[in-house]
Structures are given as structure tokens and as C-alpha cells.
């Protein structure tokens, strides 16, 4: 999935497309942030670690869109 996101960012031809991708990444970050909180509250530390890893992936994708804007 991350390869698809990076490909979409590299192929984006205008700032509007990049902003749409950025908006999608923000939603994914929010989802995984909530998943982290829920896992941490349940003391599911493996789930919390997985959520932080996913958040890192989406944060990197956000950085790529910002660089391209």
C-alpha cells in the first residue's frame, strides 16, 4: 500500500491532487492514532507498536506530499 501511495505522490501533476492525497494520509493517521490509544489502553502493546509503525509510514507519505507541494 505504501508503494501505491508513493507512486501516486510521484505521479501527481498538480497541487490539488497532492492535497487530496495529503487529506487521505491525515485520515489514516487519525485512524491509526485512535487504534494506538485503544491498544495501549487495553495493554495490547503489540497492537500499539503496530499502530505506531503504520503512523510512521503515513507520516513519511505526508512529508513526501509536502516536499512536492
Residues 33-51, mean pLDDT to the nearest whole number: 97
Q: Where are the alpha helices (DSSP H) in the chain?
A: 2-11, 15-41, 45-68
Taking 90 as the threshold, does the pLDDT of residue 40 lie above it?
yes
Domains of the chain: residue spans and CATH: 2-68 (1.20.1280.20)
Instruction: Check the CA dihedral 32-35-40-46 and report its sign.
Output: negative
Range of 15-19, 47-51, 62-66 with top mean pLDDT:
47-51
End-to-end CA distance of the chain: 22
Report the pLDDT value the prediction gives residue 20, as an integer from 0 to 100: 92
Q: What's the whole-number average pLDDT of the chain?
A: 92
Amino acid at each position: 500500500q505504501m508503494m501505491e501511495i508513493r507512486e501516486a505522490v510521484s505521479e501527481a501533476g498538480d497541487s490539488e491532487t497532492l492535497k487530496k492525497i495529503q487529506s487521505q494520509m491525515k485520515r489514516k493517521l487519525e485512524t491509526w492514532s485512535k487504534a494506538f490509544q485503544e491498544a495501549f489502553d487495553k495493554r495490547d502493546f503489540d497492537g500499539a507498536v503496530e499502530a505506531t509503525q503504520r503512523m510512521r509510514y503515513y507520516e513519511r507519505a505526508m512529508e513526501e506530499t509536502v516536499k512536492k507541494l
